Structure 1
Amino acid sequence: MTHVTACIDGSASAPAVCDYAAWASQRLEAPLTFLHVLDQRQYPVSADLSGNIGLGSREHLLNELASLDEQRGRLALEQGRIMLAAAKERAIAEGVNAPEAKQRHGDLLESLRELEGEIRLLVIGRQGESSDGAEAHVGSQLESVIRIMHRPVLVTPTGFKQPESAMLAFDGGATTRKGVEMLAASPLLKGLPIHLVMVGVETGESWAQLNAACSTLAATGRKVHTAIRAGEVESTLHAYQTEHGIDLLVMGAYGHSRIRQFLVGSTTTHMLRTTTTPLLLLR
């Protein structure tokens, strides 16, 4: 059975990641797994330093360096275990049954590639452990994670608010049409009103695409609102979201349309930086 998998670290986003993961796990009726990866760049495995210039004849320095690295790694490993235990306790308090914990030493991207077959939804914080704390800062690995994953990714802010409404940025393309089908089939947003918003010029074709998507979602009993707004994509979507108090933004992760281009290259970081709500990226 595939899991909701939540990436846990020592960042300010970790509590919200726990809470959104617990919420998603219960909505999807899927088991929850917390994942902590000990970054090998910060805590490398034991290395042979004897070939380093100037150190070969100083055995005591080699031993001391090895001892310090080992101690740092051991402490970081224990810290990760404590974080995972706290995350499990938090999820259990929210009603999740028997959450699991996994800890790995290595690279986050490689770990996610290896585990992808077990993942139904990945939950990850917008700000990672290496963040400088700036509210607009986006974790350095987040774009890479989004690129490699072939599963939906829920990117969380630093605070949790249970979603009560959602907005799908719709452009009529194949990716967002598939996104509509995914939302219609998934229990994740069941019972929540969904806003389908297209940014562009109103035409008969655009309304036909929007109404077809609306019918797909409405057929599952969902309350659906539709709108076409003119303007710049990012600011228009955010303005609509603010106007209607929408808690969750849903987008397709890749593509070539005006909307989906926000998640290609540097614009990914910009879109994530400017949203204050969780962002669900569909693949």
Structure 2
Amino acid sequence: MSNLKPDSVIACLDCPDHVQAVLEASMWASIRLRAPVGLLHSMPSLQQKAAINYSGCLNIDDENALLEQFTSKEHLSNYELKAQGRLLLSQATSYCEQQRHKLKTYTLHRHENLNQSIDYVDDKAQMIVIGHHVTCKSTLSQLIRVSHCPILVTHAPFLPPTTALFAFDNSPTCHKLLNWLCKTPLVRALTVHIVMVGKETSDNCDALREAYAKLKQAGIKSKKTLLDCRDVAAALNYYQNQHDIGLLMTGAFGQSRLRELLQGSDTKKLLVSTKTPYLLFPKA
């Protein structure tokens, strides 16, 4: 029987360098969404049994020595992998409790790879939080492609944002993201910069103005900008850096495969270049 709770924020604890950042980001989202946090650990595949060093990933001393015992071996048995996962989940639970946010947390210990685990939680989760450096063989891009749930990718350390950049391209996915932003409490307290990259045509100006008006009507403090630039990722990075914006939000892989092949994927470029938390909304 599944212990997955509906509408949870799922914290993926697969990356040692980002465990604390993922927990911080998950708690930040959970408070705003009023959702429980599901602490997810996926056991490595049979082909990947190399020991992963989780010791010191959280500032909890009493169990660090226990986690260190798993790093002394080149490969771990199934029993040892399960024990390491249980210990990590216990430590993550203790860390969340120490933050005194009064959050509801529970654990999900999956004996499968991260890709399969995300598929398992995808339909019921409200949001998935993942570290920028994943340890599974599937790349970050592949994990995002298969998800039907908003994914928040975080670097370490996680810094709670006060502003957000919503990259708007008038696509069906962006309109779906716009509708979600108008309803979700996640960004209610943030100033949202809605930015469109493209020519200053009447169609683009009208689309941007309508999207901006929709955010304002939803009670979200907003600013709008149209950037005339051919390189979408470079323009968004420049604007985000110039205005010191703490959260990037885009649709995920909205381009056609042919355009990605010819010009490269804007989503992939942003995943590489963005140094802030990055919220990706699933393709419509």
Q: Same fold (TM over 0.5)?
A: yes
1:23 corresponds to: 28
1:246 paired with 2:252, answer no
What is the distance in 1 between the residues matched to 2:76 and 2:275? 38
- Asked if structure 1 preserves the Cα contact closer than 8 Å seen for 2:233 and 2:269, the reply is no
Residue 267 of structure 1, CA deviation: 5.5
Q: Which runs of 5+ in 1 are unaligned?
A: 45-67, 131-138
- Asked if structure 1 preserves the Cα contact closer than 8 Å seen for 2:255 and 2:265, the reply is no
Q: Give runs of aligned pairs for residues 1-283 of structure 1, distance below 5 A.
A: 1-41=6-46, 42-43=48-49, 72-94=77-99, 95-129=101-135, 140-231=138-229, 232-256=231-255, 268-283=267-282
What is the distance in 1 between the residues matched to 2:85 and 2:108? 10
SS in 2 for 1:106: coil
What is the distance in 2 between the residues matched to 1:270 and 1:185? 28
SS in 1 for 2:275: coil
- Asked if structure 2 preserves the Cα contact closer than 8 Å seen for 1:26 and 1:96, the reply is no
Residue 2 of structure 1, CA deviation: 1.5
1:55 corresponds to: none
* 1:69-96 superposed Cα distances (whole Å, 9 cap, x missing partner): 9963222222211211222222223314
What is the distance in 1 between the residues matched to 2:13 and 2:176? 30
- Asked if structure 2 preserves the Cα contact closer than 8 Å seen for 1:10 and 1:83, the reply is no
SS in 2 for 1:39: coil
Residue 276 of structure 1, CA deviation: 0.3
Code of the aligned partner of 2:273? T
- Asked if structure 1 preserves the Cα contact closer than 8 Å seen for 2:164 and 2:249, the reply is yes
- Asked if structure 1 preserves the Cα contact closer than 8 Å seen for 2:15 and 2:133, the reply is no
What is the distance in 2 between the residues matched to 1:108 and 1:173? 29
Q: Sort the Cα spacing of 1:227 and 1:267 in 2 relative to 1 into closer, same or farther, 3 A.
A: closer
Residue 237 of structure 1, CA deviation: 0.4
- Asked if structure 1 preserves the Cα contact closer than 8 Å seen for 2:155 and 2:275, the reply is yes
SS in 2 for 1:119: coil
Q: Sort the Cα spacing of 1:266 and 1:234 in 2 relative to 1 into closer, same or farther, 3 A.
A: closer
What is the distance in 2 between the residues matched to 1:243 and 1:140? 33
* Max Rg structure: 1
Q: Which runs of 5+ in 2 are unaligned?
A: 1-5, 51-72
Q: Sort the Cα spacing of 1:268 and 1:228 in 2 relative to 1 into closer, same or farther, 3 A.
A: closer
Residue 10 of structure 1, CA deviation: 4.5
Q: Give the aligned CA root-mean-square deviation in angstroms.
A: 2.6
Code of the aligned partner of 1:3? S
- Asked if structure 1 preserves the Cα contact closer than 8 Å seen for 2:15 and 2:131, the reply is no
What is the distance in 2 between the residues matched to 1:71 and 1:228? 53
What is the distance in 1 between the residues matched to 2:252 and 2:260? 9
What is the distance in 2 between the residues matched to 1:71 and 1:233? 44
What is the distance in 2 between the residues matched to 1:163 and 1:203? 32
What is the distance in 1 between the residues matched to 2:168 and 2:34? 27
Code of the aligned partner of 1:29? R
- Asked if structure 2 preserves the Cα contact closer than 8 Å seen for 1:35 and 1:102, the reply is yes
SS in 1 for 2:280: strand
What is the distance in 1 between the residues matched to 2:152 and 2:146? 14
Aligned identity (percent) is 33
Q: Sort the Cα spacing of 1:129 and 1:109 in 2 relative to 1 into closer, same or farther, 3 A.
A: closer
SS in 1 for 2:126: strand
Q: Sort the Cα spacing of 1:227 and 1:71 in 2 relative to 1 into closer, same or farther, 3 A.
A: closer
* 1:165-185 superposed Cα distances (whole Å, 9 cap, x missing partner): 100111112211221111011
Q: How many residues align?
A: 250
Residue 195 of structure 1, CA deviation: 0.4
